[in-house]
Amino acid sequence: MRHIEEIKRLYVEDERVFSIGYSGGKDSSVVLNEVLLALLRLKKEGYSLQKPVYVLFSDTGLEMEPVIQSVHASLERLEKFAKREGLPIEVLRIRPKVRESFWSLLIGKGYVLPRSDSRWCTDRLKIKPSLRAIQNILKRHRGFIAFIGVRKDESPQRAKRIEEKKSKEGIVAKGDYPNSLVVMPIKE
């Protein structure tokens, strides 16, 4: 409940738009659900919900067909729900450019298969497309608050990266972009 109250406060008091990284997995689904609950409570309390909430899904092109169909179906349900409830949600489905796709880099450019000491795929398939989406958001808005579904207990490396963000107020950390925050409501 504490997280939902903090999300409500940020939505009402902060001018920045929201973005939510969504993969269809359990962590990003929980975070998306918390933001939806906060928005629904604000609506019930009489607040005008005008500030956009962007849901970013990064389609790497490598997911198995049943998985990708399930994620797309959940995004379609989200869009219908948001429209019915009057929530200002915009789903952005992002993909790598063809020249940055897994198969273009592996076969076309001769990259080695990704491994623990060479994880080029995350950068090309998720990070770069997400950065382009964020840059487009920043062209239209003066900043954003990014909600991400990360947990310290996923791995020691993840816990270290979360701590390096120097989180304050429990769930909020300074973002990597000007006028941005990162919110990690399930980090604990």
Percent of the chain with pLDDT over 90: 34
Output the pLDDT for position 61: 77
Q: What mean pLDDT is predicted for residues 65-79?
A: 93
pLDDT band at 150 (very low <50, low <70, confident <90, very high): low
- DSSP letter string over 29-70? HHHHHHHHHHHHHHHHTT----S-EEEEEE--S-S-HHHHHH
Q: Which stretches within the chain are classed as H helix?
A: 2-13, 26-44, 65-85, 102-103, 120-122, 128-140, 156-164
Select from 129, 186, 179 the least CA-distant residue to 15.
Answer: 179
Q: What angle do CA 75, 170, 164 make, to 5 degrees?
A: 90
> What are the angstrom distances between the C-alpha of 51 and each of 20, 70, 183?
14, 28, 17
Size of the chain, expressed as the number of residues it contains: 188
The reported pTM is 0.81
In 3-state terms, what secondary structure has residue 180?
strand
| Alpha-carbon 85 to chain mean position | 21
Select from 72, 58, 47, 54 the least CA-distant residue to 16.
Answer: 54
Q: Is the pLDDT of residue 174 over 70?
A: no
pLDDT band at 154 (very low <50, low <70, confident <90, very high): low
What's the farthest any 2 CA atoms get from each other in the chain?
57
Range with the largest mean pLDDT of 47-56, 62-71, 119-128, 143-152: 47-56
Over the stretch 78-133, which tens digit does the pLDDT of each residue have? 999 999 999 999 999 988 776 776 667 667 767 777 777 776 666 666 777 778 88
> What are the angstrom distances between the C-alpha of 126 and each of 2, 19, 57, 141, 168?
30, 15, 9, 22, 27
Instruction: List domains and CATH numbers for the chain.
Output: 2-183 (3.40.50.620)
| Alpha-carbon 140 to chain mean position | 18
Output the pLDDT for position 128: 76
Q: What angle do CA 9, 2, 15 make, to 5 degrees?
A: 15
Q: What mean pLDDT is predicted for residues 50-77?
A: 90
